[in-house]
A and B are shown apart, each in its own frame.
Chain A
Amino acid sequence: MTLNPESFLALATLLFGIGAVGVMSRRNIFVVYMSIELMLNAVNIVLATFSRLHPDMGGSVIALLIIGVIAAEAALFLAMIVQLYRKKRTVDSDAFTDLAQRRLS
Chain B
Amino acid sequence: MPEKIILTLLGLFLVVGALTVVIARRPATNAIGFLAVLLAVAGLFALLNQSFLFLAQILVSVGAVVVLTLIVILTVNLKEEQFPKERFKGVWIVGASVLTAPFGWLLYKTLVSVANAFPKTQKGFGSAEAVGKSLFTDWVLPFEILSLLLLAAMVGAIIIGKKEQAYDIES
Contacts and interface: CB of A to CB of B under 8 A. Distances in A.
Is the contact region of chain A dominated by helix, strand, or loop, or is it mixed? helix
A70 B65 CA distance: 8
A14 B104 contact: yes
Interface hub of A7, A19, A41, A82 (most chain B Cβ within 10 A): A41
Interface residues of B, number: 90
Interface of B is mostly: helix
Interface of B: 1, 3-4, 7, 11, 14-15, 18-19, 21-22, 27, 30-31, 33-34, 37-38, 41, 44-45, 47-50, 52-53, 56-57, 60-61, 64-65, 68-69, 72-73, 75-76, 78, 82-86, 89, 92-93, 95-97, 99-101, 103-104, 107-108, 111-112, 115-122, 125-126, 130-131, 133-135, 138-139, 142-143, 146, 149-150, 153-154, 156-158, 160-161, 164
* 9 nearest A-B pairs in the assembled complex, by CB-CB distance: A92-B84, A72-B153, A25-B92, A57-B134, A79-B157, A17-B104, A22-B22, A24-B96, A18-B18
